[in-house]
Amino acid sequence: MPTRPSPCFSSRANSRSSTSTTKALAESYVRSQNQRQRRRATHPFLTCAILPSGIFGVGDLVVLPGILDAYFRGQTQWQIGDNQNRFDFPESTNVAHAHYLAAAARVAQLEKCHDSPDDEDDEGDDDKTKVDGEAFFITNDEPRCFWDFTRLVWTFAGDTTPRERVWVIPRPWALRLAGVLEWTFWALGLGQPP
């Protein structure tokens, strides 16, 4: 079954992030392995891609620990950018539920395949259980500005920094400062910047 390329993947040369590139490659590979047609597969192998973004909640080892690390370092008075970038952080149980729903739909589709073995393929299906060969973005459907979420976590951790004491560093200035620091660390042989 032909699959359409991921909307996030164009080419390695144009990619701005190795993480995005590897995720797009993984998604493309998983979707390419979908084997729904019975002529090619004695036992259909149905796949789909589940695409969550920054997952928080039970088992989170990245998002909340990173946000809390900034809090414990006393870095809550800084903000990079104007806080206009909206982001949807999915909660871990919602991501787990999405995996369950995708698995249940694929099992239902397999049962349908076994019930009608004479069909050549189901490319034209409008079956609501068909998830194979597809990609699904998982969100909480509650997009919010990045720094609003971060400050909410800090508030629950005990931060009392008033908004008027927060230094907002414009993104272009932050990028220039990062470039100067990286160059300085390289030129002086100090290793990686902190």
pLDDT of 76-132, one tens digit each? 999 999 999 999 999 999 999 999 999 999 888 888 776 665 555 555 555 666 888
Q: Where are the beta strands (DSSP E) in the chain?
A: 49-52, 78-80, 86-87, 135-138, 144-145, 167-169
pLDDT in tens, 26-50: 999 999 998 876 545 567 889 999 9
Q: Active-site residue among 23, 112, 128, 130?
A: 23
Residue 3 or 149, more confident: 149
Average pLDDT value for the chain: 83
- At residue 13, does pLDDT exceed 50? no
Rounded Cα distance between 157 and 57, Å, is: 15
pLDDT of residue 16: 61
| Confidence (pTM) | 0.72
**Rounded to the nearest 5°, which phi and psi values hold at 81?**
95, 170
CA dihedral over 132, 18, 63, 158, signed as positive or negative = negative
Q: Is 117 helix (H, G, I), strand (E, B) or coil?
A: coil
Rounded Cα distance between 24 and 51, Å, is: 10
Structural domain boundaries in the chain? 48-105+120-161
Active site annotation includes 130:
no
Q: What angle do CA 103, 107, 110 make, to 5 degrees?
A: 140
Both tokens of residue 18? 């190795």
